[in-house]
Chains A and B, each alone.
Chain A
Amino acid sequence: DTAVSQTPKYLVTQMGNDKSIKCEQNLGHDTMYWYKQDSKKFLKIMFSYNNKELIINETVPNRFSPKSPDKAHLNLHINSLELGDSAVYFCASSQAFPGTGVGNTIYFGEGSWLTVV
């Protein structure tokens, strides 16, 4: 069973469209995240949720809106897609919150490759 699963894995869409990426974790974790990996492989956090509540909202355009219907799901909706949104988006989760211990290890999904044309 995949611990953190996200769909779709590949998404090609036109500028201006709206798209969503879904994420589910079956690890029983309380905290979920969205990370973005750019073309240079740099990973940066976008959002984190703990028990369905938004904890971190980095400087991300408000065209990006996360939604957490329950603590096992964190979806990412993107409005008015732009060319610069092309990236790999990773969903992730961790058990403990807050903290820096091994229990806070973040486990990632397989990534969603978004290409905006």
Chain B
Amino acid sequence: AQKITQTQPGMFVQEKEAVTLDCTYDTSDPSYGLFWYKQPSSGEMIFLIYQGSYDQQNATEGRYSLNFQKARKSANLVISASQLGDSAMYFCAMREGGSGGGADGLTFGKGTHLIIQP
């Protein structure tokens, strides 16, 4: 079973609109971290935002916020006031505590290709 599911392979959004990128995860570990990364066409992986499983509040970083619904195992990324430069692949990822304490790095979803239209 997939641990990270991103159900939107691609999205087209008008500039200045808000965007929600979906991410659901699957884990039985009480300790985990959720991460979002952006990969523009140039290829680098850019860390955007983090949410810990014990965090009470949703994470925010500038125009990025994470809509964390723990009971639903959902960690959607919200981008407010989208810009042309937001066009990129977006990956949701999870790091579980487990017996290794997070030693096994990140598990990634398949990504969402976001295109912002003028």
A96 to chain B: closest residue by CB: B102
Partner of B105, one of A40, A45, A113: A45
Contacting pair B45 A99 (CB below 8 A): no
Contacting pair A105 B50 (CB below 8 A): yes
Write out the residue numbers on chain B whose beta carbons fall within 8 Å of the beta carbon of A55. 100, 103
Cβ of A66 < 8 Å from any Cβ of B?
no
Contacting pair B52 A106 (CB below 8 A): no
- Complex Cα distance, B89 from A43, in Å, reads 12
Within 8 A of B (CB), among A23-50: 33, 35, 40-45, 48, 50
Q: How far apart are B97's CB and chain A's nearest CB, in angstroms?
A: 5
Partner of B32, one of A100, A110, A111: A100
Contacting pair B43 A111 (CB below 8 A): yes
What size tier do the contact residues of chain B reach? 20 to 34
Given contacts A42-B108, A45-B106, contact A107 B101 (CB under 8 A): no
Partner of A90, one of B45, B52, B101, B102: B45
Write out the residue numbers on chain B whose beta carbons fall within 8 Å of the beta carbon of A104. 33, 95, 102
Cβ of A60 < 8 Å from any Cβ of B?
no
Q: How far apart are A28's CB and chain B's nearest CB, in angstroms?
A: 17
Cβ of A56 < 8 Å from any Cβ of B?
yes
Q: How far apart are B111's CB and chain A's nearest CB, in angstroms?
A: 5
**Which 6 A-B pairs give the minimum distances between C-beta atoms?**
A98-B101, A108-B45, A100-B33, A43-B108, A45-B105, A98-B102
Q: Given known contacts A99-B102, A109-B44, what 13 new A-B pairs fall within 8 Å (CB)?
A: A33-B105, A43-B93, A43-B108, A45-B104, A48-B105, A56-B105, A100-B53, A101-B52, A102-B52, A105-B47, A108-B47, A110-B42, A111-B45
